Amino acid sequence: MVELLRPVQERYAELVADPAGTAGILEKGAAKARAVASATLARAKAAVGLLPA
């Protein structure tokens, strides 16, 4: 079990050691999620006949 979790622990230690880098990774992920979500939401609104915002 220890060997199975070792890569996770190492990556966690890297992320904790660099809070600014971690924030950057999270921001990039959030931007990608917003892009996908906004396109999906627009298609859903069009499908149900809601007016665009």
- Tell me how many domains the chain contains: 1
Asked, for residue 19, whether it belongs to a domain, the answer is: yes
42 contacts 52 by C-beta, under 8 angstroms: yes
What would the pLDDT profile of 2-51 be if each residue is shown by its tens digit? Answer: 999 999 999 999 999 999 999 999 999 999 999 999 999 989 988 998 77
Is 15 within a domain? yes
- Whether 53 maps to a domain, the answer reads no
Range of the domain at 15: 2-48
pTM (two decimals):
0.62
